[in-house]
């Protein structure tokens, strides 16, 4: 059964959180999970993003911990290009952030640390 059918309330909350990620910023799967009320459910967020396919949800703004891109319909190149077109800065294969670390610790406490573009 697709993840969106398993827990429609959580899926709705995840999609709402992702819609609120501003242009030029990103959030990790773990941060999105915490903001949607389920800290530690990063994999579930990844599954929701993988099956989403909705143009009103900027799935490309959700990245893996430590600034890694994670998946994007099988094309990390496309995900990187979309983020770069929004002004997101990369260092090698990782998204740069004005904060240190991935922000995981604070996300688990329910505080958002969406990464800014430089």
Residue spans of beta strands (DSSP E) within 1-118: 27-28, 62-63, 90-91, 94-95
User: 68: closest CA among 44, 39, 42?
Assistant: 42
Distance between CA atoms of residues 102 and 81, nearest Å: 21
Active site residue 59: yes
Q: Out of 32, 33, 59, 83, pick the active-site residue.
A: 59
User: What residues are labeled active site?
Assistant: 59
């Amino acid at each position: 059964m697709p993840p969106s059918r398993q827990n429609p309330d959580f899926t709705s909350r995840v999609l709402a959180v992702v819609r609120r990620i501003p242009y030029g910023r990103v959030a990790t799967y773990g941060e999105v999970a915490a903001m949607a009320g389920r800290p530690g459910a990063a994999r579930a967020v990844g599954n929701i993003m993988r099956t989403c396919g909705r143009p009103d949800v900027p799935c490309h703004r959700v990245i893996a911990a430590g600034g890694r891109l994670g998946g994007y319909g099988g094309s990390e190149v496309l995900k990187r290009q979309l983020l770069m077109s929004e002004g997101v800065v990369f260092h090698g294969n990782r998204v740069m952030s004005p904060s240190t670390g991935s922000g995981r610790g604070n996300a688990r406490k329910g505080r958002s640390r969406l990464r800014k573009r430089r």
